[in-house]
Structure 1
Amino acid sequence: MGVLFDECAARRTGTRVHLDRPFDIAPDGGTEHGVDDLARLVRDAAGWLAGAGAAPGERVAVVKDNHWDYDLLACAAVRIGAVPAQLSAHLSGEALAALLKRLDAAVVVTTSGVLDRAAAEGVDLRAFARTTVVLDGGVPGAQTPAELRGHPAPSPHRRGRDAPLVINHTSGTTGIPKLVVHSTATLVGALARFEATRLPKIGIRRDDVLANANAYAHGRTFCWTAVVLSMAPRDLVVLSDDDPDRADPLLRQHPPTYLEALPATFVRYRTLTTRLDNPFRRVRVFLSTYDAMHPPTIRAYLRASARRSPVWMQGWGQTETGPLTFRFHTRRSLAGERRGRSSARDLGRPVPFKTRLRVVDPETFAPVRRGRPGLVLARTAALCLDYLGESERWAAKRTGPWWSTGDIGVRRRDGAVHLLDREVDSVPGLSCLETEDLLEDRLPQVQECVVLARPGADPLPVLITEDGGFPEQAWARATRGLPAMQEPVVRSWDAVPRTGTGKVRRLALLEQLTGSTEVPGTGRWT
């Protein structure tokens, strides 16, 4: 990964990169780049990181505003033999302090805005590294790239395939995130190499215009960076913002044929699907990862495509494992509710030749029969090396070669997995996720529905709408035939606590609405 951009530039990869705003590491560099430009940015950053004191084997933490230069900085750190740790600027000051303390980083790369937000919470992030590099300057006691430029980039430093390559954190929906350590063998060898295959129908083509609207601090995009550069599509469209009005001009200028986005961003961009000459008319493949997608959103995008048979590829996995299953949706597969069950919860089969799954009793770990709910375990060569600073927590989630996903699901007779809930949110006889699917199908005015499970009480539904309003009479019709629930709470999008990937922080929302963080599950595998 340290020489990835150099190698692609040497092969004269013709991919053009179009950004929605300039990189934070090159604010005057514009929004159009070739691969050779990106290679120069990585080499330049490698020089100033070395000048800031980062050495082979040491850690470089990056916490800044969302943009793809997270991965350029990570590649620069890898180039000099350091281990990059990508931390989301959406994290609270308390969470950042906890993670930086575990990292014991030599260098922290950040911005004045991130430092100011943490300082407002009483946290000085400069105290957690020997050197702080502030990309936009103006912070006493910190250095800037301009002051460090001119330091020559060291020769690329090679490392073992099983040595730490990159550190990413989990979503943190239930508390302080975990720091996940991946190696070249797990992330590049087991994940990126498999994905960088030109499969019929779903593989990236050289004439593709590939758009990505992601959370670039997370492990998915580091893997994606390796894949997409090696596949060399014609154009890359990089979106750093989930505001549809800000994304629309760039998407119209470069209509994508292949679109990957966060589930929450798909929800936010959905309004664009109904506009005249919508920017998704040329998309042949939609790809979502990270979190559950609900059927109305998937259907809206498949309808927006003018292709004869567009495909929605839904990946299920974790930062620790990468994708474990893939499921493909078409217009026909999501035509409506199927016998009262949501087809979006059918996650598909394990990735062939890469992943094995089993479903066990959470108490005894004895296998359960097909069709019965249980804890989903996974076996994969892509499993992370460790949780940095929490090795005992990582070991507690392993049972021999098997990894506990913390999800409750059903393994069907055909081998496919039907996801019910996270174990921490699981209630016997009820799937919160499936109930959310059905409610969103019946309530088109709702952007997102969240069903919060509570011990000893009916679930609490939260309806997220554009303006925070909702007609009361629609609720009785929507809940006909569904499990008993409390009266819904209605909120606007920005009033709901979220992670950097747009996931609802269910525990924080539960506490906000009820004053309690008590959940029905054990939380043992969160």
Structure 2
Amino acid sequence: MRPHDMGTLFDEAAAGGARTVFHLDRPFDIAPEAGTRWTVAELADLVRVTAARLAGAGVRPGDRVAIVKDNHWDYDLLACAAVRVGAVPALLSARLDPEDLRTLLTRLRPAALVTTSAVLARCGDASPPVRVTVDPAAPGAVHLAALDASRPCPPVRRPDDDPLVIHHTSGTTGLPKLVVHSTRTLVHTLARFEAVRYPAVGIRRDDVLLNAGAYAHGRTFCWTAVVLSAPPAEVVLLTGDDPDTADPLLRAHPPTVVEALPASYVRLRPLTTRLDNPFRRVRLYISTYDAVHPPALRAYLTASRHARPLWMQGWGQTETGPLTFRFHTRRSALAPDAESTARRLGRPVPGRTRLRAVDPDTLRPVPRGRPGLLLVRTAALALGYVAEDGRWDAKRVGAWWSTGDMGVHHRDGGVSVLDREADGPAGLSCLRTEDILEERLPQALECVVLGAVDGDPLPVVVTADGRLDPDAWEEATNGLPTLREPAVLTWDDVPRTGTGKVRRAVLARRLTGAGLAGTGRWT
């Protein structure tokens, strides 16, 4: 099946005979009494019912519908229901700071807000007149389940180039942008390319897929189109990353393909060392969103008992979708130079993506092998930013678009990303330094290097108990550029985005009182 209309996606998959069974770690927020096991036909009915309820709340074709709730895949079911009635869903993470959430809602000016009572209390005057909650106790709002679902709600079609969905960027360096995609850019260009049963990396009919994602973000909306169009045998969905909570579900349904946030890979890593670990059948790991450091690659690839497990690492952005792919094997993850090659993110997707590196000041191309600002050309480029046309236009460089990443376009066509332009100090790759530190500090859950406006970079070491042996630190920094004394924090001490990325600008201000080292011109 080739995905096209996200409003009828589940209907078409059910009509096509898809027999995939979906297993949840907790019930959907929009169907809390319906359990944790779902068929495609049952999901199609849930989307139809939800669409009818949204229409009953007053949602009309062309309206924007903001969705802000706890992390779960029903973000995408709500989005498909909104698409079905002709509206444009805008998916916002409930982990946004209240001020940022109110700013984004003000920019969106949605006709309706689907949320929880807790989030509604944080929205203040930015919430629209139509407020629908997925929990029953919310003054000034109507409970989703109380809305009439009996009236027929036929799907509303839209032109392929009209706005389809709005997602926000991660916001590691500041306020997230609101990115608008169309059916052509997100479904036709991205999802159709992925919804092919390619050898080794395509979805097989007998696969058990595990997704531990951030369901408010653009990747999972595309993933939803893919998994319904090339259905596997089973899908397992995690909404959190606590190992002890995830373990029973993963043991009951051991996955063969895993896609997770880099932060979730870090948090679930203790499962790789348990007896009869749940990753023993995995043939393919997939990571997007952020860097995955070599120790995590090694842990998961060696946990698999598959003869030749693969790790597919994608680099891309909400605005563009995937730009490059790189494959890691058990052998490459165990190689002595693994930490030095981990930033090599592969080559542009042939025939679909073009990249070049330019001087960030002059915008003139730099020779292959030298650092520069990475520009991209792709048919999957989004339509723009909501209420920030000037910001979008400022990132256009002729026919090219700025990723805001500093990197190297190598002579062999491969790409290495060094840092976000807003993050990095001159002469140092924070990402590569983080790789080296994590390799040398097995007790570290995560290492973050913050480029300072004045002085040496500040390293942040995240450990389970917020402690770090001074001798281990001294040994780990041997031969590295000069760094300040480390700030040692626990996982929960670190401000994070909805995808688990470190909010570097917030962390830098908290620890140093100053911002990051870059100009921020290209963010």
1:508 equivalent in structure 2: 506
Distance in 2 (CA, whole Å) between partners of 1:243 and 1:443 is 22
CA shift, 1:81, in A, is: 0.3
Please tell me the residue identity of whatever aligns with 1:5: F
1:173 equivalent in structure 2: 172
1:374 equivalent in structure 2: 372
Match of 2:14 among 9, 14, 23: 9
Distance in 2 (CA, whole Å) between partners of 1:307 and 1:479 is 36
Q: Deviations over 1:146-178 (max 9, x none)?
A: 321334242111100000000000001122111
CA contact (8 A) 2:374 2:407 kept: yes
CA contact (8 A) 1:110 1:135 kept: yes
Distance in 2 (CA, whole Å) between partners of 1:104 and 1:486 is 44
Is residue 63 of structure 2 the alignment partner of residue 66 of structure 1?
no
Distance in 1 (CA, whole Å) between partners of 2:504 and 2:152 is 44
2:26 equivalent in structure 1: 21
Distance in 2 (CA, whole Å) between partners of 1:151 and 1:14 is 27
CA contact (8 A) 1:326 1:350 kept: yes
2:196 equivalent in structure 1: 197
Is residue 84 of structure 2 the alignment partner of residue 79 of structure 1?
yes
CA shift, 1:138, in A, is: 1.3
Aligned residues, how many? Answer: 518
Please tell me the residue identity of whatever aligns with 2:472: A
Distance in 1 (CA, whole Å) between partners of 2:108 and 2:47 is 23
Distance in 1 (CA, whole Å) between partners of 2:453 and 2:135 is 48
Q: Deviations over 1:103-126 (max 9, x none)?
A: 11111000112224x1xxxx426x
Please tell me the residue identity of whatever aligns with 2:351: F
Please tell me the residue identity of whatever aligns with 2:272: T
Distance in 1 (CA, whole Å) between partners of 2:206 and 2:72 is 24
CA contact (8 A) 2:51 2:84 kept: yes
Match of 2:520 among 500, 510, 523: 523
SS in structure 2 at match of 1:433: helix
CA contact (8 A) 2:344 2:416 kept: yes
Distance in 1 (CA, whole Å) between partners of 2:98 and 2:363 is 38
Alignment of 1:208-227 (within 5 A): 208-227=207-226
Please tell me the residue identity of whatever aligns with 2:292: M
CA shift, 1:341, in A, is: 5.8
Match of 1:53 among 58, 65, 69: 58
SS in structure 2 at match of 1:291: coil
Q: Deviations over 1:9-68 (max 9, x none)?
A: 111210000000000000000000000000011000100100111100011110000000
Q: Deviations over 1:200-257 (max 9, x none)?
A: 1111100000010000000000000000111110000011011111111101110000
CA shift, 1:183, in A, is: 0.1
Distance in 1 (CA, whole Å) between partners of 2:17 and 2:270 is 38
Q: Deviations over 1:302-339 (max 9, x none)?
A: 0000011100000000000000000000111122442x
1:408 equivalent in structure 2: 406
2:394 equivalent in structure 1: 396
SS in structure 1 at match of 2:22: strand
Please tell me the residue identity of whatever aligns with 2:85: I
Match of 1:492 among 473, 490, 493: 490
Is residue 425 of structure 2 the alignment partner of residue 427 of structure 1?
yes
Q: Deviations over 1:380-425 (max 9, x none)?
A: 0000001011011011101122110001111111000011111112
1:164 equivalent in structure 2: 163
SS in structure 2 at match of 1:75: helix
CA contact (8 A) 1:50 1:151 kept: no
CA contact (8 A) 1:137 1:144 kept: yes
Please tell me the residue identity of whatever aligns with 2:331: R
Please tell me the residue identity of whatever aligns with 1:7: E
Is residue 154 of structure 2 the alignment partner of residue 149 of structure 1?
no
SS in structure 1 at match of 2:330: coil
SS in structure 1 at match of 2:50: helix
Match of 1:115 among 111, 120, 126: 120
2:465 equivalent in structure 1: 467
Structure 1's unaligned 5+ residue stretches are: none
Distance in 1 (CA, whole Å) between partners of 2:490 and 2:246 is 21
Distance in 1 (CA, whole Å) between partners of 2:489 and 2:289 is 23
Is residue 46 of structure 2 the alignment partner of residue 41 of structure 1?
yes
Distance in 2 (CA, whole Å) between partners of 1:482 and 1:332 is 26
CA contact (8 A) 2:50 2:149 kept: no
CA shift, 1:523, in A, is: 0.3
Distance in 2 (CA, whole Å) between partners of 1:195 and 1:153 is 33
Alignment of 1:61-460 (within 5 A): 61-116=66-121, 118=122, 123-124=123-124, 127-338=126-337, 342-460=340-458
Distance in 2 (CA, whole Å) between partners of 1:341 and 1:208 is 31
Aligned residues: percent identity? 65
CA contact (8 A) 1:59 1:107 kept: yes
SS in structure 2 at match of 1:133: strand
Distance in 2 (CA, whole Å) between partners of 1:508 and 1:429 is 23
Distance in 2 (CA, whole Å) between partners of 1:154 and 1:341 is 54
CA contact (8 A) 1:109 1:133 kept: yes
SS in structure 2 at match of 1:357: strand
SS in structure 2 at match of 1:74: helix
Please tell me the residue identity of whatever aligns with 2:8: V
Specify whether residues 361 and 341 from structure 1 end up closer, same or farther in structure 2 by C-alpha distance, changes over 3 A only. farther
Distance in 1 (CA, whole Å) between partners of 2:468 and 2:238 is 31
TM-score of the aligned structures, taking structure 1 as reference length: 0.97
CA shift, 1:130, in A, is: 2.1
CA contact (8 A) 2:89 2:165 kept: yes
Please tell me the residue identity of whatever aligns with 1:494: D
Distance in 2 (CA, whole Å) between partners of 1:128 and 1:67 is 22
Distance in 1 (CA, whole Å) between partners of 2:427 and 2:107 is 40
Distance in 2 (CA, whole Å) between partners of 1:14 and 1:69 is 19
Distance in 2 (CA, whole Å) between partners of 1:335 and 1:36 is 44
Distance in 2 (CA, whole Å) between partners of 1:359 and 1:81 is 40
CA shift, 1:461, in A, is: 0.4
Q: Deviations over 1:281-311 (max 9, x none)?
A: 0000000000011000011000000011100
Q: RMSD in angstroms over aligned alpha carbons?
A: 1.1
CA contact (8 A) 2:120 2:127 kept: no
The 10-residue stretch of structure 1 (323-332 or 422-431) with the greater mean CA deviation from structure 2: 422-431
TM-score of the aligned structures, taking structure 2 as reference length: 0.98
CA contact (8 A) 2:294 2:339 kept: no
